[in-house]
Structure 1
Amino acid sequence: MSFQAPKGVKEYVPPQASTFYAIRAAFAETARRAGYSYLETAVFEDTQLFARGVGESTDVVSKEMYTFTDRGGRSLTLRPEFTAGVLRAVLEHGLHRGQLPVKVWTDGPVFRAEAPQEGRYRQFYQLDLEAIGSEDPAVDAETIALAWQWYTTLGLTQVRLLLNSLGCRECRPIYRARLQEFLRALDLDEATRARIEINPLRVLDDKRPEVQEQLADAPLIGDHLCAGCKSYHDRVKQLLADLGIPWEDSPRLVRGLDYYTRTTFEFDHPLLGAQSGIGGGGRYDGLSEAIGGPALPGIGFGLGLDRTVIALEREGVEPATPARCEVYGVALGDEAARAMFTLVNDLRAAGVAADMAFGGKGLKGAMKGADRSGARFALILGERDLAARAVQVKDLTTADQTEVPLAQVVDVLKGKVQ
């Protein structure tokens, strides 16, 4: 039998993997320039971290988590999202006792037991960025702007920013009661009715048409914001406008996790159909207390790498990727192969992407390898060249060929490819 990847696992292999790598690298640079440090967190956590942090009423916790009991009888869960684990790591390692906000980012696979389809996988990949310890609308605007800058850097032009506020501890309970009153009067199934009592905002996030039809006249959180939340939200929008970032008011946007407060946002791409959400996030000012930490405000986002790759393909955009090979060595004979092996490694040490033909191929076969490698230059080294202490440098785009002394070839090629 031959093994295959489990159902719902998206894998990236060449050449598509180069795009996947390039967009991660672009994000790393975007985050670095804004003062965000990288951290690596656990892939699995205590199940209660997500139950208390994400919310037991969410589909993520109630239906989609990969939970297992380890040999010590502990209940553990593969991370279904990043924020709760990142905040746990910040608290555990005392990062919040230093300069605030703590600005960190991470990336990697996350896991949800969903019905697989294009853009929705059981193992999928996210970029995560968090700013923890500051309640400032400028921090909200910064996180949104960094995601927008990343999409723009990649060359995407059809991304839409949807924006909403979910209020705070003062005004949200009033809205919650008003929303519950409205929802209780609707014709809903028992599971949805139970959700009304636990977290009625989850009902607004129900994608079923028969539910959405009944929500047309549902009260909006924006009409129930306190003065402080309204002023905060207006400031965020003003700062985004100052940066020239367009947004669309989305009064029913609630996202799928319980910890969001105030600023909530989503990035949407119309060419992705039903899976048009390619990233999003928001403020989570009560999450630290929910998982046993001190009062510590925060905001962050998760951006879907899988859906971003699809969006780039739909728009016909190919991000710039580093050359896999810039110089390809072709050696004719055992002694030439030995010398070429050293030369290729010298080129790599000098910062030049280099490869060579292996297996004692003849000139014709080796040159086919040079063409397939994508290299701009081929180095051809035979017994005569060795005797002359020189190597033939062939430009594969023009077919021009010159002889260069072996002692100078690394410096010559370094100047040509950089």
Structure 2
Amino acid sequence: MKYERIKGTNDIFGEEIIYWNFVERKAAQTSKLFGYREIRTPIFESTELFTRSVGEETDIVQKEMYTFNDKGGRSLTLRPEGTAPTIRAFIENSMINDGLPQRFYYIGPMFRYERPQAGRLRQFHQFGIELIGSAEPLADVEVIQLAKSFLDSLGLNSYKIYVNSIGCPKCRVQYKNALKEYYSEHYGEICEDCKKRFQSNIMRLLDCKKDVEIAQKAPKTVEYLCDECKQHYEKFKHILKSLNIAFEEDGNLVRGLDYYTRTVFEIKHSLLGAQSAILAGGRYDGLCKELGGTDLPALGFAAGIERLVLAIRSEQLQIPHDSYCDVYVIPLNEQAVIKAFEISDSLRKREINVITDVNLRPIKVQLKHANRLNAITAIIIGDEELLKNTVQIKDLLDQTQSEVEFEYAVDYVSDILRNKKLKN
């Protein structure tokens, strides 16, 4: 029987994995430059963690979560997002004792049951950051600055930052009333999902992908901000402008999860069509308390790695390719195997990527395979070399070959590789 991957999942390998390695490496590097430490949380959590944090009425909870009962009868869910697990880990492990603010980043798979399309799969991957313990607009700016630095490090140009403030629970009451009054006049025009949300979570109507025109004409959140939220938002924007970080205000921008407050933002890539959001986030000041911890302000973002790879490809950016195989070592008989493994080990201790042939195939076959792997040099060891305690070193780019004493072979190969890389 032939098995195939599950719909909505992907095998990532070959040329594609080079892009993924590049994105993940830049994500980790940028995070560390800003003082963020890596955190790894379990792939599945208690279902209640997500229903309490993400929101009972969100599409994620109602339609998209992979939820199951384990053998102990507990309801578990494959994580659909990374913020709630990070906050749970922060609370459970008493990380508040390490001082505030705390900064974390994560990279890993998430799971949502939705219609698979370009850049959006049922198992998808995110790079995210969380900053816990600062209510200041300065923290909002830092998160935006980190996001921009990360995207710039990838070489991306065709993106734009959109920001908004959705206020706090105090000022949101008046806004929700205005929203309800507006949508009452359009109730007959909205989709069935929005009619349900009208009663349970009115702000979710702004995030509807069907009733876009109606949402665009709805009252704006910034018109109903309390003085404190307004001052926070204005200071946030002022600092961004002072730092020459370009952005646009989008009064219709809300996030699809219930825990967001005040600042929200989204970064879109102009070449990706309908699925243009490559990074998004905002504040979630009430989430720590909601999940049983101390009442702490917090914020963060998540970026979809699949979409980032699509964005890099859409701009036709040239990314550095890690060398898969610098040296291919060819033992021509069983007696040469020990020498082959010895020299391979010595090269690897110099952080040189080496593949040693383990099939004892004819030399023509092995050289052909070395070229297929884009090896720079080949080391050949046969009967004659064993007798003279030498090796044959073949430059696969220049097609030149030299006989070198075994004890000098590692230095000789190291020099070849260093010169090649200097030329490039």
- Provide TM-score, normalisation by structure 1: 0.95
1:139 paired residue number = 139
Q: Which amino acid aligns with 1:18?
A: I
Answer whether contact 1:9 1:122 (CA < 8 A) is retained.
Answer: yes
Q: Hey, what does 1:313 align to over in structure 2?
A: 313
Mapping of 1:12-27 within 5 angstroms?
12-27=12-27
Aligned partner of 1:32 in structure 2 is 32
Shift of 1:73: 1.3
Residue 415 (structure 1) shift: 4.4
Q: Pick which of 75-84 and 14-23 moved more.
A: 14-23
Q: Is the 8 A contact 1:168 1:262 kept in 2?
A: yes
- The equivalent of 2:421 in structure 1 is none
The 1:375/1:190 distance shift into structure 2, 3 A limit, reads: closer
| Cα distance in structure 2, aligned partners of 1:389 and 1:248 | 69
The Cα of 1:3 is off from its aligned counterpart by: 0.7
TM (norm. structure 2) is 0.94
Tell me: CA distance 1:395–1:47, structure 2 relative to 1, closer, same or farther (3 Å).
Answer: same
SS at match of 2:402: strand
Aligned residue in 2 for 1:240: 240
Structure 1 counterpart SS, 2:54 = helix
Distance 1:111 1:230 in 2: 36
Distance 2:240 2:213 in 1: 33
Q: 1:415 to 1:227 in 2, by over 3 A?
A: farther
Q: Is the 8 A contact 2:215 2:252 kept in 1?
A: no
Residue of structure 2 in register with 1:200 after alignment:
202
* Secondary structure in structure 1 of the residue aligned to 2:403: strand
Distance in 1 (alpha carbons) for counterparts of 2:29 and 2:404: 37
Change (3 A) 1:342 1:96: same
Give the distance between the partners of 1:96 and 1:172, measured in 2 at CA.
29
Counterparts of 1:13-412 in structure 2, within 5 Å, are: 13-186=13-186, 187=188, 188-208=190-210, 211-412=211-412
1:108, 1:127 within 8 Å by CA — same for their partners in 2? yes
Worse-superposed segment, 316-325 or 157-166: 316-325
- In the alignment, the residues of structure 1 paired with residue 175 and residue 111 of structure 2 have an alpha-carbon distance, to the nearest angstrom, of 33
Give the aligned residue type for 2:152: T
Please state how far the C-alpha of 1:190 moved relative to its aligned partner. Answer: 4.8
CA contact (8 A) 2:220 2:251 kept: yes
Query: Does the Cα contact within 8 Å between 2:124 and 2:306 map onto a contact in 1?
Result: yes
**Over the residues paired in the alignment, what is the CA RMSD in angstroms?**
1.6
Q: Is the partner of 2:407 in helix, strand or coil?
A: coil
What CA distance in whole angstroms lies between the structure 1 residues aligned with 2:216 and 2:163? Answer: 19
Q: Which string of whole-angstrom CA distances, capped at 9 and with x for unpartnered residues, describes residues 324-378 of structure 1? A: 1111112222222331122112211221111122311222111111111112222
SS in 2 for 1:408: helix
User: Is the Cα–Cα contact under 8 Å of residues 259 and 287 in structure 2 kept in the other structure?
Assistant: yes
For residues 2 and 106 of structure 1, what CA distance do their matches in structure 2 show? 35
Are the counterparts in 1 of residues 180 and 198 from structure 2 also a CA contact under 8 Å?
yes
Name the count of aligned residue pairs.
416
Per-residue CA shift, 1:118-161, capped at 9, x if unaligned?
11111111111111111122221111221221211111111221
Q: Residues 362 and 241 from structure 1, CA distance in 2 versus in 1: closer, same or farther, beyond 3 angstroms?
A: farther
Give the letter aligned to residue 380 of structure 1.
I
Task: Give the Cα separation in 2 of the matches to 1:319 and 1:237.
Answer: 33
Give the direction of change, closer, same or farther, for the CA distance of 1:413–1:227 in structure 2 (3 Å limit).
farther
Q: Residues 348 and 201 (structure 1 numbering): CA distance in 2 closer, same or farther, change over 3 Å?
A: same
Cα displacement (A) at 1:15 = 2.1
Q: Which whole-Å CA distance do the structure 1 matches of 2:239 and 2:417 have between them? A: 42
* 1:403 CA displacement: 3.0
Counterpart CA distance in 1 for 2:245 and 2:411 is 45
Larger mean Cα displacement after TM superposition, 59-68 or 310-319? 310-319
Q: Which amino acid aligns with 1:289?
A: K
CA contact (8 A) 1:19 1:318 kept: no
SS in structure 2 of the partner of residue 321 of structure 1: coil
Q: Secondary structure at the match of 2:391?
A: strand
Q: Which residue pairs with 1:5 in the alignment?
A: 5
The separation in 1 between residues aligned to 2:241 and 2:289, in whole angstroms, is 33
Deviations for 1:39-72, whole angstroms, at most 9, x for unmatched residues? 1101111111111100111101111101111111
**Counterparts of 1:342 and 1:120, CA distance in 2:** 47
Runs (4+) of structure 1 exceeding 4 A deviation are none
Q: CA deviation at 1:178?
A: 1.1
Contact 2:216 2:252 in 1 (8 A): no
Q: Sequence identity of aligned pairs in percent?
A: 39
Q: Secondary structure at the match of 1:118?
A: coil
Report the CA distance shift for 1:190/1:361 in structure 2 as closer, same or farther (over 3 A).
Answer: closer
Aligned AA (1:134): S
Q: Return 5+ residue gaps in structure 1 as ranges.
A: none
5+ residue gaps, structure 2, are: 419-424
Letter in 1 for 2:127: L
Q: Output the CA distance in 2 between the equivalents of 1:196 and 1:85.
A: 29
Letter paired with 1:206:
C
What is the CA-CA distance between 1:81 and the residue it aligns to? 0.4
Deviation at 1:416, TM superposition (A): 4.2
Q: Do the aligned partners of 2:327 and 2:376 also contact (CA within 8 Å) in 1?
A: yes
Residue 92 of structure 1 and its aligned partner are, at CA, apart by: 0.2
Tell me whether 44-53 or 320-329 shows the greater mean CA deviation. Answer: 320-329
